[in-house]
Amino acid sequence: MRADLFIDLGNSRIKWRLGAGQPQQAVEYGNGPLDAVLNDVWKKLPSPEHIWLASVAPDRIRRALQSWTSRAWGVIPHVVTVQPEACGVSCGYQDPGQLGVDRWMAIIAAHDVCPGGACVVDCGTATTLDVLDSNGRHLGGFILPGVTMMRRILARETGLNPALGVTQSMEWGNSTASCIDLGIYKSVVSLIEQSVERLQAAGVCDPGVILTGGACSLIKPHLQLAHEHRDALVLDGMETFVQEPGK
C-alpha cells in the first residue's frame, strides 16, 4: 500500500514526510530552479497515494511543485487551506483566509499536544507566535521578522556589521555581533514570556510552550520557561487535519 506524502512548503525550505509518523525531511530551495531541487531529493521516492500540501510560498513556487509531482508521479497535491473551525480548534482571525496555513496546521497540532492551552512559536523566515486557550480557541498572535531577517535589516539600515565578533556570553553582548544576536534572541524570548504571563494573569489558561522552525535552536538556550521543541509541528497538524471526516 502506498503512503501519503505531506509537504510543508515555506518561504525558504521544503519540509516533507512520506507516511504518517515518519521523520521529517527538509531542504533549502533558494532562488534557483525548483525542479533541480526536487529532482535531487524526491526523484527516488516511491509514488505516493495522495499528496497533501500546505504552502505559504509564492504562487509560482507552489505551481512549480504541483507541476513536478504531476509529471513525476501523476499525482496532483491537495492544497490544505484555513477554515474557521477544524479539529476542535476555532480560528481567531476575523478573516481566516489571512492566517498562514502553516500557522493553522501548527495550531491544530499544538491543541493535541497541549489541550489545556498553548503558546506556539515558529522561528522561520518570519517569527510567529500564536496562543490557544483550553477550549481550542485561537486567540491570535504576533508576527515579527525572523532572526536572519533582523540581522540583515540591521546591516542594511545601519553602519553595524553583524559579521564582526561572535556571541560568547548568554547575558550581555561584548561585541557588535553579540549585542545584535542577544538583542534579537532575547526580544523573542521576552515576547514569549510576556504572552504566557498575560494568559496566566488573566486566568485564561496556563499554556504549554511549543517551539518549531529552523531558528528555534538559537532561542531555546535563553528561554527559562518549560517548553517542547517539535520540528515537524506543521506536518503533525496536517496529519490530524486530513484524518478529520470530510477531508
Q: How many CB atoms lie within 10 A of CB 192?
A: 22
Active site (annotated) includes residue 4: no
Contacts of residue 126, defined as CB under 8 A and 6 or more positions apart, other chains included, come to 11, 143, 144, 145, 146, 149
Contact 48, 5 (CB under 8 A): yes
Paired with 7 in beta bridges are 16, 53
| Rg, C-alpha atoms of the chain | 19
Label each residue of 216-231 as H, E or C. HHHHHHHCCCCEEECC
Active-site residue, selected from the candidate residues 4, 102, 122, 130: 102
Cell numbers placing 226 = 518549560
**Closest by alpha carbon to 14, among 32, 218, 2?**
32
130: left (phi over 0), alpha (psi -120 to 50) or beta: beta
**Catalytic amino acids?**
102
